[in-house]
Structure 1
Amino acid sequence: MVKQVLKAEVESLGGLQLKCSARGFEFMIDEPENVGGTNEAMNPLEALLCSLGACKMMVVRFFYQAKQIKLKSMRVEILGEIDSDRLKGKPDVKVGFSKIITNYYIDADNTDEEIQDLVAFIEKTCPVKDTIVNAPEMELHINP
Structure 2
Amino acid sequence: METFKVQVTSTAKPNEYQAAVRDFKVKLAPDSPTAPSSHEAILQALGACEAIVMASFNQQQDFTYRDFYYTLEGIKPADAQRPGMARIGVAVHFDTDESKQKCHDFMTFAENTCPVMDNLTNTVPVKRTGVAVMA
Which range moved further: 67-76 or 124-133? 67-76
TM-score (norm. length: structure 2): 0.91
Residue 60 of structure 1 corresponds to 54
TM-score (norm. length: structure 1): 0.85
Q: CA offset at residue 94 of structure 1?
A: 2.3
* Inter-partner Cα distance in structure 2 for 1:124 and 1:108: 21
* Inter-partner Cα distance in structure 1 for 2:77 and 2:109: 31
Residue 4 in structure 1 maps to residue 32 in structure 2: no
Deviating beyond 3 angstroms after TM superposition, the runs of 4 or more aligned structure 1 residues are none
Residue 91 of structure 2 corresponds to 103
Deviation sequence 1:56-75 (CA, Å, 0-9, x none):
10110100112121211101
Residue 143 of structure 1 corresponds to 132
Residue 18 of structure 2 corresponds to 19
Q: CA offset at residue 110 of structure 1?
A: 1.1
Q: What SS does structure 2 have at the residue aligned with 1:71?
A: coil
* Inter-partner Cα distance in structure 2 for 1:57 and 1:22: 20
Percent of aligned pairs with the same amino acid: 24
Segments of structure 2 that go 5 or more residues without pairing to the other structure are: none
Q: How does 1:85-104 map to 2 (within 5 A)?
A: 85-86=79-80, 93-104=81-92
**Alpha carbons 1:70, 1:108 under 8 Å: kept:** yes
- Aligned residue-pair number: 131
* Inter-partner Cα distance in structure 1 for 2:34 and 2:104: 38
Residue 90 of structure 1 corresponds to none
Residue 80 of structure 1 corresponds to 74
Residue 28 of structure 2 corresponds to 29
* Inter-partner Cα distance in structure 2 for 1:117 and 1:85: 36
Residue 120 of structure 1 corresponds to 108
Q: Given residue 7 of structure 1, which amino acid in structure 2 is its aligned partner? A: K
Q: CA offset at residue 83 of structure 1?
A: 1.8
Deviation sequence 1:36-80 (CA, Å, 0-9, x none):
xx5321111101101001001011010011212121110111111
Report the RMSD for the aligned CA atoms in angstroms: 1.3
Residue 44 in structure 1 maps to residue 33 in structure 2: no
Segments of structure 1 that go 5 or more residues without pairing to the other structure are: 33-37, 87-92
